[in-house]
C-alpha cells in the first residue's frame, strides 16, 4: 500500500522503530482518505539550516519550520478520482515530505510528546498536504485538524 524512500540528511540517527511508527501513521492517513492504491512518498529528515533554505526558496519564508510538503498533484483533493483512475503507473507518486528533526525535537518537548509521536503527527499532517488539504483559511484549518485528530486517535 505504501512505499517510502527515506533519506536522512540530518546529523540525528533515526531508530528503525520510529520509522516503522511513521510509516504506520502515513498508512492510516491513506486508509482514512480511502486511497486504495499503492503510493510512494519521498521522505527526508534534514537539519534546521536546510529546511530554512527550502522554506525561503519555495515559500518565501526565511525561517526554520517543522515540515514541508511538496505534492506531486496540485489538485489531488479535487481531481482524486481522475488521478487514481487514469494513473497507469503504480505506485502512485504522491510527493515529498521534508521534516526538520531538530524542530520536531523542540516541539516534542514543548508539547510534552515523545519524538516518535511528534514525527508521526508531522507525517500525517504532511501526507494530508500531499493529498490536497491545506490550512490557509480557518475552515480548511478546522477540517484538517479534525482529520489529524481522528487519524492520531486524539480526543
For cell 519524538, what's the residue? 115
Helix (H, G, I), strand (E, B) or coil at 93: strand
Distance from the Cα of residue 106 to its chain's centroid: 18
Distances (CA, A) of 128 to 3, 26, 28, 136, 144: 16, 9, 11, 14, 8
Instruction: Report the first-to-last Cα separation within the chain, whole angstroms.
Output: 27
Residue 46 in grid coordinates: 534534514
Q: Cis peptide leading into 91, omega within 30 of 0?
A: yes
Please give the annotated binding residues for Zn(2+), written as ranges. 125, 129, 135
For cell 508531522, what's the residue? 122
> Helices 16-32 & 138-152, crossing angle to 10 degrees?
120
CA distance 136 to 107: 21
Please give the annotated binding residues, written as ranges. 125, 129, 135
Amino acid at each position: 500500500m505504501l512505499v517510502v524512500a527515506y533519506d536522512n540528511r540530518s546529523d540525528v540517527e533515526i531508530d528503525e522503530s520510529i520509522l516503522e511508527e511513521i510509516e504506520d501513521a502515513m498508512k492510516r492517513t491513506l486508509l482514512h482518505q480511502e486511497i486504495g492504491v499503492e503510493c510512494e512518498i519521498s521522505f527526508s529528515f534534514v537539519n534546521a539550516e536546510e529546511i530554512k533554505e527550502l522554506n525561503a526558496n519555495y515559500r518565501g519564508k526565511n525561517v526554520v519550520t517543522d515540515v514541508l510538503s511538496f505534492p506531486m498533484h496540485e489538485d489531488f483533493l479535487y481531481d482524486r478520482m481522475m488521478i487514481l483512475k487514469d494513473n497507469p503507473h503504480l505506485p502512485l507518486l504522491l510527493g515529498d515530505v521534508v521534516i526538520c528533526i531538530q524542530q520536531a525535537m523542540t516541539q516534542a518537548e514543548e508539547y510534552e510528546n515523545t519524538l516518535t509521536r511528534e514525527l508521526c503527527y508531522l507525517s500525517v499532517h504532511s501526507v494530508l498536504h500531499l493529498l490536497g488539504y491545506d490550512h490557509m483559511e480557518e475552515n480548511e484549518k478546522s477540517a484538517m485538524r479534525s482529520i489529524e485528530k481522528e487519524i492520531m486517535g486524539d480526543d
